[in-house]
Amino acid sequence: MRPFICILSLGALALAASGCSMTETVKHGQLSYDCSGAGKGWGDCREKADAQCGANNYTVISGEGGAQPANASGNTEMKRVLVVTCK
């Protein structure tokens, strides 16, 4: 039972650490990808759009990003959101 719990925990950790894990529909036909955080970038968002729409088969509606103010622990975070529509 113990090895099963370890494997399950590692799987959950890997899922939590994956970039751009958040995809939601903003408006009819528009998809939003949140690629915020350290070690992630716009390329992560574009990879997710490629996976969902096909390679370069989407139109970028908006791409917003920048450093967010320091949180309670004193760290700043990069916030990136890409909104696309599939062609």
Domain ranges of the chain: 20-86
d(CA 44, CA 42): 5
How far is CA 65 from each of CA 1, 16, 30, 52, 78, rounded to the nearest angstrom? 44, 21, 18, 21, 7
Q: What is the pLDDT of residues 14-56, one digit of tens each?
A: 333 444 445 666 677 899 999 988 788 899 999 999 999 999 8
Most confident of 8-17, 30-39, 65-74: 30-39
Give the pLDDT of residue 3: 53
d(CA 23, CA 46): 12
